[in-house]
């Protein structure tokens, strides 16, 4: 087996020689993998450059997301076509299927795995916060961002798009923030603040994470409570409610 794999290992290693194109659509480029996370004994999700993939292996393969694990394939192209492997410290696991997934889906899978303590991560980010924060909280820039690093924001039909510092956000410069329920105030309220449900400078779409949109009132005429109708009261109350954050994931320019 070792002799049979030697040519493959040499081909999969980085080289200055000209590289052949991917042999099939939707191949994973193993040379630019930044993270692998194991969801269960046979399933792995992988970040490769700006693309995200889900890999299935033929048999149970523990420790696929360990720091020593690697992907082996001819010229570094992992396409699910055979002779492609996840190599761990203890075994070689044949890759059976490679499926491209959306960044949003990758982020949700990663967050769910971490919350269930069933996923292992390469290049994980441990978040240190205030003493009042919940203990034992782990986050990842794949599904979290720091409100303190927010440079600007804009609202659209899909929620809120936040621009952040790449240097302090794991290399990501923008995040999509999806809101739950009705949140009409994003269309016209000029100010935004984020509130974390875990008491940290971190927004991940966890329970209690909220977006608060408001107007400081400087540009509006003063209206006394007595001047509001019942319908206006209800509308004003709706505008004062925080909007629950249900999903956070990076987007690319």
What residues form DSSP beta bridges with 164?
A: 150
For the ranges 116-130, 138-152, 228-242, the maximum mean pLDDT occurs at 138-152
What per-residue confidence (pLDDT) applies to 137?
52
Give pLDDT, residue 216: 72
Of 107, 105, 80, which Cα lies nearest the Cα of 94? 80
Residue range 4-21, pLDDT digits in tens: 333 344 344 444 468 899
| Nearest C-alpha neighbor of 159 from the set 253, 236, 248, 52 | 248
For residue 152, pLDDT over 90 is answered with yes
Q: Return d(Cα 71, Cα 136) in angstroms, integer.
A: 31
Q: What share of the chain is helix, strand, coil (3-state, %, to 5)?
A: 20, 35, 45
Average pLDDT over the chain, rounded to whole? 80
Predicted pLDDT at 236: 54
């Amino acid at each position: 087996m070792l002799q049979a794999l030697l040519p493959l290992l040499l081909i999969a290693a980085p080289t200055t020689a000209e590289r052949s194109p991917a042999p099939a659509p939707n191949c994973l480029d193993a040379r630019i993998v930044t993270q692998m996370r194991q969801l269960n004994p046979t399933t792995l999700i992988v970040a490769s450059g700006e693309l995200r993939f889900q890999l299935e292996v033929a048999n149970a393969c523990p420790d696929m997301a360990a720091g020593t694990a690697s992907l082996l394939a001819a010229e570094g192209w992992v396409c699910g076509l055979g002779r492609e492997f996840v190599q761990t410290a203890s075994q070689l696991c044949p890759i059976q299927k490679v499926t491209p997934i959306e960044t949003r889906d990758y982020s949700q899978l990663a967050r769910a795995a971490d919350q269930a303590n069933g996923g292992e991560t390469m290049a994980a980010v441990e978040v240190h916060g205030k003493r009042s924060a919940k203990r034992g909280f782990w986050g990842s820039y794949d599904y979290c961002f720091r409100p303190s690093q927010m440079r600007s924001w804009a609202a659209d039909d899909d929620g809120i798009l936040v621009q952040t510092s790449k240097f302090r956000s794991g290399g990501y410069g923008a995040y999509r923030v999806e809101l739950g329920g009705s949140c009409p105030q994003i269309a016209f309220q000029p100010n935004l603040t984020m509130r974390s449900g875990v008491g940290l400078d971190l927004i991940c779409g966890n329970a209690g994470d909220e977006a608060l949109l408001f107007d400081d009132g400087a540009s509006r005429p003063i209206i006394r409570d007595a001047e509001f109708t019942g319908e206006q009261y209800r509308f004003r109350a709706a505008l004062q409610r925080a909007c629950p954050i249900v999903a956070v994931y990076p987007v690319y320019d």
